[in-house]
Structure 1
Amino acid sequence: MVDIKINDEIRLTDDKFLMIAGPCSVESEEQIIRVATQLRKIGVNVLRGGAFKPRTCPDSFQGLGEEGLKLLAKARDATGMAIITEVMDMDELPLVAEYADILQVGSRNSQNFSLLKKISRYDKPVLLKRGFGNTVDELISSSKYLSMNGNKRIMFSERGIRTFEQSTRFTLDISAIPVLHEKTEYPVIIDPSHPAGVNRYVEPLALGGTAAGADGLMIEVHPDPPKALSDSAQQLTVPQFQNLYTKVKNINAVLGKTVI
């Protein structure tokens, strides 16, 4: 697996397991600082949070934009955590890159090749989410746009695909983990929150992905999920996440990995 240097303190290597956690959306300074501080005490080093939110319905909360990025930067200053946030389009890319330690390409942009070409010019780690209608080979092809200018700091994210099954929001494709490991040199980060759709399914999906050999998890965690402005049903409370974190550490100890 390629060595992913996130910053001077955090490196994802073969014997490490990366834990990313935080709210779906940045909603206020109090919210993001509170959850970041709690997650840092648990041991999380990378904070997620959406500043620009691609929502299915235009009437839904669309994020705080640049103000959200500034609040993420405040959370980083307060905790020392690295931050990851989504890039939605080319106009926002320079601004997001100014603040983020890791650039996230969302499911809807997984085959936005013009955007991927632009991102390839930035010397930053990139988390590429699989499109919910994309095959594994299509995901790999998308990654080649990101690496075309020499950037190898790419991480895949399996976040569920759309199938005929409707008992969960999406179908988590755990089989993608060994296939991606066989076909590429990039780590695979599982996002169990989006395929789960409701928080009671997040833990079993997260543990299943971990045991199947994933290189990390990205979990949505909110200080008060019922009041969340987006994806409230699937976000874990901090105590729920702490319980999951302990189990993930135990599984990785068996696999010979350290959670970072």
Structure 2
Amino acid sequence: MDGHPSTTFSEYSPELGERLCLFVTRAAALPDVRAAVEANHDENRWWPAYVRDWRVRMAVAGWSSRVSYAMVGTYSGVVARAATLGWGRLTALNDEALTHLVRPIGLPKARTRYLRSLADFIGGTSASGIDLAAAPSDDLIASFEAGVAGAGYNTAQCAVLYARGYHCGVIPVDTGMVTKLAPLLGISLTSGPVAYEQLRKLLQLGVADHADTYRDLAPRLGYQVTIPPWAAPTWFVHLTLIYFKRLYLNRPGPDLCPHRPACALLFGCSCQPTGAMR
């Protein structure tokens, strides 16, 4: 990724894998990215590990949508109450009680509708003899997106990741990753919702191709995180990308390279106007 690479990618290639690996290496070395990743890797604030029931996890993953960072404390309280209730009692709540439960995080009607649809989806697959635990992640994400009201691809990705565990190999992709991060990496995506799935699969292929490099990266940079030896470090890469995006792309600073894809330095490069370097 020296200079300003002009190559753009619409499908996976070894060159894209190398570009992603170099980018993640540089992003992970940033102190504020490291702090955010360490704070959320082993026990994520949005999708806490203490929630054990995969069905409640799917509910929580959907409810985490459109909850701001300023609301994470309130959201955590809703998650704790849902986990205490358990799936059976949670889905048995009438609409008034369920609305009361989710009202603190906003959009109570949409969140109530999501849970009801999720319960129908899970119940329907069980009645049909479909084993959700055995379904390939790609198939489950597609089925979830099609079968659960209010669940786009991002919500489906998050629900499958959380239900199966941080290290299941799924890299959820949000809107900012599609609109801001993909151009930074020189990735060209199809317009529309399918872009979330395209980017997810490209990122996962990149991690699989450089799994050992990513696995060595965290301890080499001094990260205090636990990556199971049997798992590709998709969770570590996801958090690195999502927090780089939040910290540096949502409101780009003047020292971020203006070129897309970014040059080798990312910050303070010769592309910057005088005085913009760190």
Judge same fold: TM > 0.5, yes or no.
Answer: no
Give the structure with the larger helix fraction.
2
Which is greater in Rg?
Answer: 2
Give the structure with the larger strand fraction.
1
TM-score (norm 2): 0.30
Choose between structure 1 and 2 for higher RCO, CA contacts under 8 A separated by at least 6 residues: 2
